[in-house]
Amino acid sequence: MRNIFDQYQQPENRLTHALVSTLAEDPRLLRRFIQEFAGVSIPKVALQIVEQQRPGEPRPRSEDEASGLPDAWIYTDEVSDEGWTLLLECKIAAQVTIGQLQRHLATAERQNFKRIRLLVITARALTKRLPARTRAVRWAEVYSWLVRQARDSALAQRCSEYFAILEAELPEEYLKEGGLTTFSGITFNPASPYSYLEAKRLLQLAWEELRTNRKLARVLGMDPKSVGRGAITGRDSDSVWNFLSLKHGRGDDVFTHYPHLTLSIKSDMLLAIVTVPHGIKRDLRRRLINLGEEGFAELLRTVSERISSALHKDKGAVPWAEVLQRRYLTQRSTPIVDAKMEFDLRTAFPKTTRRRKKSVKVQPQWLEATYRALAKKQSNLQLVVGAAFPYGRSSSVGKRAILENIVETWVACRPLLSAMGIK
């Protein structure tokens, strides 16, 4: 069913229409918006709001006819208020020009408005010097404001949801330098099941924030200039993923030559893992194998305990390991999985404290099989170690706090990287 906000062809106009329609329906929300983003308080007089037309004039018959006009006018006709107005100019991918903003201000002056403000809303932060009486904000800031207002406004909630819907539908190249929303957790559940487009949107938001995390750069040598995957494909897959490179591998165009930090949003869980790829440099893999089976087990015991300690507040989080053998028919095709073993790392290590009935049962053979497969590798074999955050069980996966837990998980895996000679 077509969304009620989809009244225009251009994404900028659709998003503006969603915002303006919401504000027009809720005068209290409209006044909050003006206070928050224009930074002014206005008398308690009736406000008017029109979209892509001049106040008091007929509405243009098409989007082309409305070209050159501000995207919206918020104004009052009260003489006592001396003709107050707030103009909106909204962009997503298109560039903002100073000339266009100056023309909007001049147009408002010709309409006999005396107190004029102009608000520019863009996907990317503006660095240009703006004309007087002009402010700029990002769509992501408006989205966060709507999310806060949604606590007592169903209209604000519906509008914020549309931001996410539109962002998920836009092509990757449309949002190269900024998004429409901010990351606030992964809320897949039976009532809101996994969606490829939504997972891809959430992955990009989380990845952008993690790429600038100073702790990852300082402790693990994460490369802030990491470009990740060139294109995220696999619409029919039950997961989407991206990775952050380490400075250790800088200069090598083949990311599978070195371990990397992987974030994967699956249909049933989020994975924050260190990937030891099938094509890893031989000397790095050899360092793991030379630990021997006991040394390898002790290494992963340390990692498991560090992860459990870091995530102790999230009882649903799971220290995780996975061994995967797969192959690709083409570079962009969905892989064929020939073998897969995934397990809770705690199955490998007996607890010294008294166990409860529902605690993890020990089965060290899973870890033994992992080491032997790695040591006798004859295929495209990949090892991952980290944490799983199952939907419905993890208490942090649906909140913004999951970003911190992802960082702490990767940091807890530092002994694994150190064992391969990555400092």
Distance between CA 45 and CA 277 in Å, rounded? 64
CATH number of residue 349's parent domain? 3.30.930.20
Best CA proximity match to 278, nearest among 415, 367, 377: 377
Using the predicted structure, report yes or no on whether residue 297 has a pLDDT greater than 90.
yes
> From the CB of residue 344, how many other CB atoms can be counted at a distance below 10 Å?
16
Cα separation, 377 vs 289, in Å, equals: 10
Identify the pLDDT of residue 388.
Answer: 98
- Please check whether residues 225 and 153 belong to one and the same domain: no
* 215 in a structural domain: yes
- The percentage of the chain sitting over the pLDDT mark of 70, rounded to a whole number, equals 89
**Within a domain: residue 4?**
no
Say if residue 266 is in the same domain as residue 136: no
Has residue 21 got a pLDDT over 80? yes
Beta-strand relationship, 381-390 and 48-51: unpaired
Euclidean distance between CA atoms 82 and 214, whole angstroms: 50
Q: Do residue 358 and residue 237 come from a single domain? A: yes
> Which single residue is written with the structure tokens 């929303």?
181
The domain boundary, picked from 162, 196, 217, lies at: 162
**Domain span holding position 148:** 11-162
In a domain, 384, yes or no: yes
Q: Confirm whether 115 is domain-assigned.
A: yes
pLDDT of 78 > 60? The answer is no
Give the residue from 132, 162, 192 where a domain finishes: 162
Torsion of CA 102, 105, 110, 111, to 10 degrees: 150
CA distance 69 to 104: 7
CB 47 within 8 A of CB 30: yes
Residue 42 confidence (pLDDT) = 72
Position 123 pLDDT exceeds 70: yes
> What whole-number distance in Å separates Cα of residue 353 and Cα of residue 356?
9
Same domain, 157 and 207: no
Quote the pLDDT of residue 119: 96
400 and 255 share one domain:
yes
At residue 273, the pLDDT reads 98
Question: How much is the pLDDT for 2?
Answer: 47
Residue 33, sorted as left (phi over 0), alpha (psi -120 to 50) or beta, turns out to be alpha
Using H for helix, E for strand and C for coil, what is the string for the chain?
CCCCCCCCCCHHHHHHHHHHHHHHHCHHHHHHHHHHHHCCCCCCCCCEEEECCCCCCCCCCCCCCCCCCCCEEEECCCHHHCCEEEEEEECCCCCCCHHHHHHHHHHHHHCCCCEEEEEEEECCCCCCCCCCCEEEEEHHHHHHHHHHHCCCCHHHHHHHHHHHHHHHHCCHHHHCCCCCCCCCCCCCECCECCCHHHHHHHHHHHHHHHHCCHHHHHHHCECCCCCCCCCCCCCCCCEEEEEECEHHHCCCCCHHHCCEEEEEEECCEEEEEEEECCCCCHHHHHHHHCCHHHHHHHHHHHHHHHHHHHCCCCCCCEEEEEEEEEECCCCCCCCEEEEEEEEEHHHHCCCCCCCCCCCCCCCCHHHHHHHHHHHCCCCCEEEEEEEEEECCCCCCCCCCCHHHHHHHHHHHCHHHHHHCCCC
pLDDT, the chain, mean: 88
Torsion-angle region of residue 328: left (phi > 0), alpha (psi -120 to 50) or beta?
beta
Q: How far apart are CA 14 and CA 21, in angstroms?
A: 10
1 found inside a domain: no
Same domain, 261 and 360: yes
How many domains in the chain? 2
pLDDT band at 61 (very low <50, low <70, confident <90, very high): low
- 170, part of any domain: no
Both tokens of 402, joined, read: 């999951």
Same domain, 96 and 205: no
From the CB of residue 65, how many other CB atoms can be counted at a distance below 10 Å? 12
Same structural domain, 259 and 291: yes
pLDDT value for 13: 86
- 256 located within any domain: yes
Q: Are residues 266 and 409 in the same domain?
A: yes
Is the pLDDT at 353 greater than 60, yes or no?
no
Gap between the Cα atoms of 300 and 298, Å rounded:
5
158 and 195 belong to one structural domain? no
Dist CA 179 CA 140 (whole Å): 6
Q: Tell me: the pLDDT tens digits for 152-190?
A: 899 999 999 999 888 888 876 666 666 899 998 998 988
pLDDT of amino acid 214: 96
Is 81's pLDDT higher than 70?
A: no
The reply to whether 88 and 30 lie within a common domain is yes
The position carrying tokens 């033994």 is 368
Residue 63 clears pLDDT 70, i.e. is over it: no
pLDDT band at 7 (very low <50, low <70, confident <90, very high): low
pLDDT digits (tens, 9 = 90+) for 228-274: 887 777 677 889 999 999 998 777 778 889 999 999 999 999 999 99
Which of 131, 162, 193 terminates a domain? The answer is 162
Least confident piece of the model among 23-37, 60-74, 307-321: 60-74
Cβ neighbours, 10 Å, residue 369: 13
- Give yes or no: residues 228 and 298 share one domain: yes
Residue 103, Cα to own-chain centre: how many angstroms? 36
Q: Is 112 part of any domain?
A: yes
